[in-house]
Structures are given as C-alpha cells and as structure tokens.
Amino acid sequence: MKTTRWLLGTLLFIMIFCSTATAQAGMSSIVLTEYGVERITGLSTALFFGLVVSTLLVRFFWGLLVHETEWPKPTLMKSFAATFLGGLLFFLVLVMIAGSRELLTPGAWEPDGILYKLGPNSDGEDNLNFTTSEVE
C-alpha cells in the first residue's frame, strides 16, 4: 500500500509539474528550435545507450575480478549503481574544474544570454585577440 501511494504521488508530480510546456510562476524558460530538440534527443539517446553499455561492461569486468573470490557477485543493479556513481564523480570533477576557472580569473567571464563568454581584459581590448609576440 505504501509503495502504491508513493508511485501515485510520483506520477501526479510528473503530470502536474513536468509535463507543462510553459514555466510555472512566471519563471523564464528556454524554447528550443527544431534543430535543438533533435540534438537533445540524440544526446539523451546516446547517453542512455552509453549508460547501458557501461553498466554491462562494469558487470562483465566485475564478474571477472570476483570469479573465484568471496566478494559479492555482480548484479545489474550493483553494476548500474557503480556506473552511475562513477559518472556523478566525473561530473563533480568537471564542475570543480569549471569553478576553479572562474575563481582563478574573477570577472573574466561575462554572461551572454544563458551562456558565458570571455569578456574584455583590463585594457578594454578583447582577450581573444593576441599576437604570437605576446605569447612568447
């Protein structure tokens, strides 16, 4: 009974808050073009199959490692959990790298819509224009 209530509550939440095309309470939303929707669909499909293949590879190699030991045998859920946690750890490292970029160059990145671009340096000129003599 408790599981049924949780499932119904989750489905109700998804139906009310996640299926609407407009943003709730006046929040801004991003509207993608047809090309953008196709790119997101392709990326999510590749991510899904990459996760499935990675899970199967983790299960296979985990099974090879614990073949004759008393370690726990691999299951799909344990392999998926290991793959998912590894992906989250990788994502955390990438976010830390991006954060350190901003900390090491404060104010160098300026908002440009929903993205960021490299702003002008202290002399007022563009940071992207430089000559080879400045590099040496």
Contact indicator for 48, 81 with CB cutoff of 8 Å: no
The ranges assigned to domains in the chain are: 32-135
> pLDDT digit string (tens) for 74-116?
888 989 999 999 989 999 999 898 888 777 877 777 777 777 7
Contact indicator for 127, 121 with CB cutoff of 8 Å: yes
What does the mean pLDDT of the chain come to?
A: 76
Predicted pLDDT at 24:
54
> pLDDT digit string (tens) for 69-82?
888 888 889 899 99
Q: In angstroms, rounded to a whole number, what is the distance separating the alpha carbons of residues 134 and 136?
A: 6
